[in-house]
């Protein structure tokens, strides 16, 4: 089926409107942008959609630079021509929704929130509303807004939690703080600890789990794999229950589903994690209870800690 386009110019950006589903955007780089990555440039230019959505487009080859797909880390050069087709009608990450947030801390630069279990951090193809990003967009633009009224505040996701995992997350309220916090995460300057209730009784009081994690290309699932990326988790016993163990988990690396996969790998899957062998339960018993990081402006160390969730099993 043929597609028809209408073209018009907007400064150095040429917008091509596709009458089917996607809107095709073209960007021309007039001069060398020192150490400016492709993904970061697009995040700054296209604010109507989420970073994760743009990341997925780049990863799937739907973003072309000079006619060829490029990775997000590509450094832009003078004369580069970028083409990317964005489905603005499907992407609703920036749609404000009045959803209650449990705010642990907030100032002009950041927010720290306690994400509930069962809430997606950002929309997917199947779930386009009710996510943390929708809630944050509403709050930052209509409730706790500190910027001028005409300014759209885009929540800056510095890290993520699984849908089923609850706990502490730090959110940047402007691009500068997002950039600095992201560097802190990249350089392992952030401390994270989790509560987990796992199946069975673990005999060791503490230990380390080292098992590489990769993704099965055909099944599109994450798993412990010999050819995966190195992954390491420290654990310590808090309490042995009747047929389960309450643990403190500390991820040394940050692979997708790392804690759930590592617990299952040693034969003690997380309670409520039926995907990786845990029993059915009202929730996934994994909770990010401690978060420590440096403030993006004054560099003071901030430490946040939550209590053990009341809906965890205790006997």
pLDDT at 213: 95
Catalytic positions are 162
pLDDT tens profile 157-214: 889 999 999 999 999 998 889 889 989 998 999 999 999 999 999 999 999 999 999 9
Q: Are strands 166-172 and 286-294 parallel, antiparallel or unpaired?
A: parallel
Looking at residues 28-37, what average pLDDT do you find? Answer: 72
Arithmetic mean of pLDDT over the chain: 86
Q: Which CATH superfamily is domain 5-86 in?
A: RNA-binding S4 domain (3.10.290.10)
Any idea which fold 103-183 has?
Answer: Pseudouridine synthase (3.30.2350)
Domain 192-289 belongs to what topology? Pseudouridine synthase (3.30.2350)
Position 132 pLDDT exceeds 80: yes
Residue 35 backbone zone (phi > 0: left; psi -120 to 50: alpha; other: beta) = left
Predicted local confidence at residue 94, as pLDDT: 67
Q: For residue 103, what pLDDT is reported? A: 97
pTM over 0.75: no
Which residues make up the CATH 3.10.290.10 domain(s) of the chain? 5-86
pLDDT bucket at 92, cuts 50 / 70 / 90: low
Number of DSSP helices (H) and strands (E) in the chain, helices first: 5, 18
- Structure tokens, 252: 């040394």
Residue ranges, CATH 3.30.2350.10, the chain: 103-183, 192-289
Q: How confident is the model over 249-259, as pLDDT tens digits?
A: 999 999 989 99
Quick check: 146 pLDDT over 70?
no
More confident position, 173 or 153: 173
Mean pLDDT for 233-252 is 97
């Amino acid at each position: 089926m043929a597609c028809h386009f209408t073209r018009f110019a907007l400064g150095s950006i040429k917008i091509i409107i596709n009458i089917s589903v996607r809107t095709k955007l073209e960007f021309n780089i007039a001069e060398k942008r020192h150490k400016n990555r492709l993904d970061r440039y697009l995040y700054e230019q296209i604010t109507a959609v989420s970073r994760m959505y743009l990341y997925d487009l780049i990863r799937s080859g739907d973003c072309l630079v000079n006619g060829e797909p490029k990775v997000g880390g590509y450094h832009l050069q003078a004369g580069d021509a970028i083409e990317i087709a964005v489905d603005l009608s499907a992407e609703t990450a920036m749609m404000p929704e009045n959803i209650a947030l449990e705010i642990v801390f907030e100032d002009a630069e950041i927010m720290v929130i306690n994400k509930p279990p069962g809430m997606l951090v950002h929309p997917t193809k199947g779930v386009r509303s009710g996510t943390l990003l929708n809630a944050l967009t509403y709050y930052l633009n209509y409730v706790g807004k500190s910027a001028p009224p005409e300014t759209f505040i885009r929540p800056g996701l510095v890290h993520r939690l699984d849908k089923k995992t609850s706990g502490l997350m730090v959110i940047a309220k402007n691009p500068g703080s997002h950039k600095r916090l992201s560097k802190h995460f990249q350089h392992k300057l952030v401390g994270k600890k989790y509560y987990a209730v796992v199946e069975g009784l673990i005999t060791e009081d503490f230990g380390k789990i080292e098992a590489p994690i990769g993704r099965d290309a055909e099944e599109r699932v994450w798993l412990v794999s010999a050819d995966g990326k190195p992954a390491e988790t420290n654990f310590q016993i808090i309490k042995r229950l009747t047929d389960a163990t309450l643990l403190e988990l500390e991820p040394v690396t940050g692979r997708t589903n790392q804690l759930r996969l590592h617990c299952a790998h040693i034969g003690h899957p997380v309670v409520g994690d039926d995907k990786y062998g845990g029993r059915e339960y009202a929730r996934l018993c994994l909770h990010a209870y401690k978060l420590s990081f440096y403030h993006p402006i004054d560099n003071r160390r901030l430490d946040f800690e939550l209590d053990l969730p009341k809906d965890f099993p205790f006997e």
